[in-house]
Chain A
Amino acid sequence: MLLSSLLLVPFLGTLVLLLWPGSPSPQRLRLTCIAILAVQLLLSLAVLAGFDVHRSGLQMVELHSWLPGIGLDYSLGVDGLSLPLVLVNAALTLVSAVITRDIDRRPRLYFAMLLLISGAVNGAFLAQNLLLFLLFYELELIPLWLLISVWGGANRAYAATKFLIFTALSGMLILGAFLWLALLTGSIDFSLTPVLSERLSIGGQLVLLSALLIGFGIKIPLVPLHNWLPDAHTQASTPVSVLLAGVLLKLGTYGLLRFCLGLFPEAWAVLAPFLAIWAAISVLYGSLAAIAQRDMKRMVAYSSVGHMGYVLLAAAAATPVSLLGAEFQMVSHGLISALLFLLVGIVYRKTGTRDLEVLRGLLNPEKGLPLTGSLMIVGVMASAGLPAWPDSSPSFWCSAVPSPPSRWPHCSRWWAPVSRRCTSSCW
């Protein structure tokens, strides 16, 4: 029941906030939300404490039949891929709630949506049924759209609508692939097993894998499906940006590893060289585009596009070390990008601008932001993957692993670290 509590606590918290009688003050709502998320964090730590790191495979499995007619089971489980992401979700959602200030418009809805997103993301990471995963994957769509469109910047309607359309398309492609998998195999068993794909020809696997790659590629995001991210980040408030970059993008990479590589290993091996090239292009594109930005938030958003390309690069190699690097990259990028967005938010709040052409001298110890500047140096060095910082090992593992017998990953793995240095040097 521990895994179910990770879903129940935030969902019940959502109901509590929405059904709270009277007109509670924003501060009271905020504190209640923080308390609920603190409980969720404690539960996540309890899952960590009960997790046996020496045992591979799923642990703490919970399986209940829900709608057997359509193959939907309530099936939860945690393993080494999902546990770190659950912890990151718990931590960053709590951080988002803590840093939320001055919500005078519909605070009840704001904090309720925050809790709903947290629960949905937990559900997506823990689901062991394809339809259940998709249910939670789509559940976070509307809350995030609301968070951007109601509490965002001046151009929030455009950014929120673009996010909604892109992500809805992503969900449609993933659902279509899952349904097609069931249709082609003649089974309505949506449990997470690669056995299903073995009944398909390699051509069929490639078609379904391509649909999943595009679907998850929108979410990750990968070039050229990334266009929604910079606008969404620029228009979203700081707490929502922290959530978007730190947690929600990991849904895409999680899906990539769990469903694309996990369900279609044969087709994945066929596409691996092209995926590595795609990853390298995405990394370079994101990094170069970041250099040309004047808006700090937009720059961090494009750098996130580059960093997420690393995960695809590691997944394309599909060796034990590279997959470890991919997992580590997801966790470290989640924490580092959250830090960077937080710091950019502080600069914006204090100065009123995020324009790099205008901002100067903030490291001044008397009239500037020396602490924020110092933390920015820490964040940027970590983002650049300098040795001894959290992102250095995963970027090394993603870039320098023995590649499968194909020359393409050899070409792509050396470009990526150079682009990361270029991006971080522009700070």
Chain B
Amino acid sequence: MGLLPLGGFWCYGLMLNNLLDGSPFLAVVFLLTNLLTAVNAVRVFRAVFLGPPMPKTRRVPEVIWLMALPMVSLAVIVLLLPLMLQRIDPVPGIAAFPPGVAAAVVGSGLVGVLIGCLLPQDRFRSRSRRPALRVVQDLLAYDFYTPAIYRATIVRLVAGLAQATRWFDITVVKGLADGVGRLSMATAEGLRLSVSGQLQTYVLTVVVAIVLLFSTLQWIRVGI
């Protein structure tokens, strides 16, 4: 949330300082995002950890030390991160960006925290029955229906193309290959009826085939 003296303050301050030079609109978006993040974090904390106990939370003992150790260690590292970075690569002092930028970063975080503290935790409001409000809530809750739109457009298009390709492969390509095979079998069955049993017929057939083959090859050769 960009609150002093935590690590996020410096990086947010530097980012905001650069954004102000390049794109003030994005700087406003940045601050608004920071504010909304703070609102949400505090709201969730209030909902989960504060207030009267619920049936599911009435008896929830603390975790054993094996589970707590990595979390506590990580929390300590997060708190000490600015000091650690100071040793590795000295972070810029608080004067690295103007006081106004520092105030904006801290202010957006604090305002977000304040709003999060004051927001009514009314469970009826979190899922409103008013159609207009419900539409907006659902739009945000379901990520602007992006997965549904993605499924309805791109996935359906690719799946349709895939099914069409599969149909083409089975019906046309495989059908052609199997058709040639069936034609060959049918031709062989038909030729079987023409078997005369006479050697002269077979020799004549072979000679005619050889003459045709060499004539074709010679014709192709002359053509090339």
Contact = CB atoms under 8 A, between A and B. Distances in A.
A202 B145 CA distance: 58
Nearest to A223: B173
B169 A289 contact: yes
A183 B165 contact: no
A24 interface: no
Contact of B158 (A162, A293, A422): A422
Interface string A161-195: 01001000000000000000001100000000000
A82 interface: no
A183 B217 CA distance: 10
Contact of A289 (B158, B159, B162): B162
A204 B224 contact: yes
A293 B173 contact: no
A224 interface: yes
A contacts with B: majority SS: helix
A200 B221 CA distance: 11
B163 interface: yes
B165 A162 contact: no
Nearest to A422: B158
A292 B177 CA distance: 21
B125 interface: no
Nearest to B174: A227
Nearest to A207: B224
B161 interface: yes
B151 interface: no
A162 B162 contact: no
Nearest to B167: A292
B166 interface: yes
Interface string B190-224: 00000000000000000000000000000011001
Contacts of B221: 183-184
Contact of A162 (B159, B164, B166, B177): B177
Interface in B137-190: 158-159, 161-166, 169, 173-174, 177, 181
B185 to A, nearest CB: 11
Given A162-B177, A227-B174, A227-B177, A292 B163 contact: yes
Nearest to B184: A165
Contacts of B161: 288
Nearest to A224: B173
Contacts of A224: 173
A285 interface: yes
A184 B221 CA distance: 7
Interface size on B, as a range, is 10 to 19
A159 to B, nearest CB: 12
Interface string A216-247: 00000001101110000000000000000000
A308 B169 CA distance: 17
A289 B224 contact: no
A203 interface: yes
B166 A292 contact: yes
Given A207-B224, A291-B158, A227 B163 contact: no
Contacts of A422: 158
Interface in A257-286: 285
Contacts of A184: 221, 224
B174 A203 contact: no
Contacts of B166: 288-289, 292-293
A7 to B, nearest CB: 33
A201 interface: yes
A288 B158 contact: yes
Interface in A41-79: none
Given A227-B177, A422-B158, A292 B165 contact: yes
Given A224-B173, A227-B173, A285 B165 contact: yes
A422 B154 CA distance: 11
A224 B177 CA distance: 10
Given A162-B177, A227-B177, A292 B224 contact: no
Contacts of B181: 162, 165
B165 A289 contact: yes
A203 B224 contact: yes
Contacts of A226: 173
Contacts of B159: 291-292
Contacts of B163: 292
Nearest to A293: B166
A207 B173 CA distance: 24
A287 B155 CA distance: 14
Which of A201, A203, A289, A290 has the most B CB atoms < 10 Å from its CB? A289
B167 to A, nearest CB: 8
Contacts of B165: 285, 288-289, 292
Interface of B: 158-159, 161-166, 169, 173-174, 177, 181, 220-221, 224
Given A184-B224, A288-B158, 10 more contacts: A162-B177, A165-B181, A203-B224, A226-B173, A227-B169, A227-B173, A228-B177, A288-B162, A288-B166, A292-B166
9 contacts: A200-B224, A204-B224, A223-B173, A227-B174, A228-B177, A288-B161, A288-B164, A292-B165, A422-B158
| 4 A-B pairs with the lowest CB-CB distances in the bound complex, closest first | A292-B166, A291-B162, A292-B162, A288-B165
